[in-house]
């Protein structure tokens, strides 16, 4: 594929930004999103963000895997969410999804 490591692999800042965005939205009563709308909203709010569709979808999957955010996929394009507030910082490196993606890139 023509996608570079940086196009696909989310960084800690990307996760932090998405988490704070979803947290804020949840407080305002928002409970579901389509990936496209989420991407647009994030780009509008944080100019200079390198988010893309693949990365957003991936981060949502990782949030679900690590139980940082409860995610229920409505269909391929949208999801319902509930933020699980935790005082402990979750170690993103524990994510098997993230490990897999990183290793698939380092193998090339």
- 1 has a pLDDT exceeding 60: no
Q: Tokens at residue 47, please?
A: 């100019």
Cα dihedral 24, 28, 33, 37, rounded to 10, equals: -70
d(CA 62, CA 92) in angstroms, rounded, equals: 8
pLDDT at 49: 76
d(CA 30, CA 80) in angstroms, rounded, equals: 9
- 6 has a pLDDT exceeding 70: yes
CB neighbourhood size of 47 (10 A): 6
Task: Look up tokens 């780009």; give the residue.
Answer: 43
Query: pLDDT (tens digit, 9 = 90+) per residue, 13-58?
Result: 899 999 999 999 999 999 999 999 999 999 899 877 778 899 999 9
Q: Indicate the pLDDT class of residue 107, thresholds 50, 70 and 90.
A: low
Cα dihedral 11, 41, 31, 93, rounded to 10, equals: 0
């Amino acid at each position: 594929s023509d996608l570079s490591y940086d196009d696909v692999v989310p960084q800690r800042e990307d996760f932090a930004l998405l988490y704070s965005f979803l947290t804020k939205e949840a407080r305002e009563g928002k409970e579901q999103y389509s990936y496209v709308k989420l991407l647009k909203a994030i780009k509008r709010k944080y100019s200079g963000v390198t988010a893309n569709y693949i990365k957003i979808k991936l981060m949502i999957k990782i949030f679900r895997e690590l139980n940082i955010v409860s995610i229920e996929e409505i269909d391929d394009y949208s999801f319902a969410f509930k933020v699980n507030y935790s005082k402990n910082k979750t170690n993103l490196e524990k994510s098997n999804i993230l490990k897999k993606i990183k290793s698939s890139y380092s193998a090339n």
